[in-house]
Structures are given as C-alpha cells and as structure tokens.
Amino acid sequence: MNKVLMVSSGAADAPTSRREILQDRVARDEAALRQAFSQFGEAVQTRTNVRQRINQRPYAWLAGCLLVGLWWGQRAGSR
C-alpha cells in the first residue's frame, strides 16, 4: 500500500512541477517577445523619422529630389 501512495503522490507532484516549468518558460518567452517588439518599434521609429534622416545627409536628399523632379519633368514633357 505504501508503493501505491508513493506512486500516486509522485504522480501528483509531477504535473505541478511540470506546470511550474511551463509557466516559467512562458514568462521567459513573453519577456523576450516584449523586448523584441520594443526593439522593433525603436527600429521602425528610427527609420521613419524622415527629418532626422534628411538632417544627416541633406545634400544627398537634395540631389535625389532634383533627379526625381527632372525625371517627372521629362515624363510630363514627352506626353
């Protein structure tokens, strides 16, 4: 009878410890996911900050705008 009690008490402890292990893993994964989304948000915000990007390389943007204007002007003139 002791064996049955020991086995049943061991079986009762196993799901609890497994559940705790899974809860710890889920908590770790959630923290990692929050960090990844935070880094992603920062990267998107940095890339979409046009004013900052223009301030970093104003002459490249000026040249690009002039080229686009010339291209559009040629297309409109050929119609």
Q: What is the mean pLDDT of residues 32-57?
A: 88
Q: What is the mean pLDDT of residues 25-29?
A: 96
Are 10 and 4 within 8 A, CB to CB? no
pLDDT of 62 > 80? The answer is yes
Would you state the pLDDT for residue 70?
A: 94
Indicate the burial class of 74 (C-beta count within 10 angstroms; 0-12, 13-18, 19 or more): exposed
Give buried/exposed letters for 13-42 (b at 16+ CB in 10 A, else e).
Answer: eeeeeeeeeeeeeeeeeeeeeeeeeeeeee
Distance CA 73, CA 43 (A): 35
pLDDT of 75 > 60? The answer is yes
Would you state the pLDDT for residue 5?
A: 43
Q: What is the mean pLDDT of residues 60-68?
A: 96
Would you state the pLDDT for residue 49?
A: 80
